[in-house]
A and B are shown apart, each in its own frame.
Chain A
Amino acid sequence: EVQLVESGGGLVQPGRSLKLSCAASGFTFSNYYMAWVRQAPTKGLEWVASITNSGGSTYYRDSVKGRFTISRDNAKSTLYLQMDSLRSEDTATYYCTRRGYSAPFDYWGQGVMVTVSS
């Protein structure tokens, strides 16, 4: 059974950093592209970043470029999102998701809440 379990969320002050992790199991992690998608309270879904299966290429939305870093450790089957210089508008539930071979974002984690507030 495919499982994606996020961790590392919490309350953080503006300008500070936070690192999210997503532990994957039930599939060969190194074969799949992965991504982070977020959802601000009562708002819609917003793609944040993607990474290729090898980690050799990464992609970001403009609003997080230069502040967030997506990475992966295939040996540990874990996806990461390093978030620096956090802003109030980064407050959201962050989902780890897998890009399937056919369907995009075919599995999702349960989400982890990040609150940026003083």
Chain B
Amino acid sequence: EIVLTQSPTTMAASPGEKVTITCRASSSVSYMHWFQQKSGTSPKPWIYDTSKLASGVPDRFSGSGSGTSYSLTISSMEAEDAATYYCLQRSSYPRTFGGGTKLELK
């Protein structure tokens, strides 16, 4: 099983601040995918195939990485970005998610 480790677990960012969330895989994966979840709602696809933005995702978000190290970056934090973000690998079964990064507005 490929274990995904996200860091940090929680963080707070001020409006306009740059934010980076990392996801490290225990084995190499082809792509990394990201989801955003706000409290009490279903997850939403956010970034897929490492760097492609899902429909409706603002272009202040970006994704990058390869092999075992991936990241999600927000160029300039906005209030609506406060949420929990999860990475996902589907290179092998079982599909695995990272533990999540809770991003709060400072």
Given A104-B88, A105-B43, residue A47 in contact with residue B96 (CB < 8 A): yes
Give the contacts of B63-106 with A (CB-CB under 8 A): 86, 88, 90, 93-100
B52 to A102, Cβ gap below 8 A?
A: yes
Q: Are B49 and A102 in contact (CB under 8 A)?
A: yes
Is there an interface contact between A59 and B94, defined as CB atoms closer than 8 Å? Answer: yes
Chain A interface category by residue count = 20 to 34
Q: 14 A–B contact pairs at CB < 8 A?
A: A35-B95, A45-B37, A45-B97, A47-B95, A47-B97, A61-B94, A102-B48, A103-B33, A103-B48, A106-B45, A108-B42, A108-B43, A109-B42, A110-B42
Q: Which residues on B are within 8 Å of A, measured CB to CB?
A: 1, 33, 35, 37, 42-45, 48-49, 52, 54, 86, 88, 90, 93-100
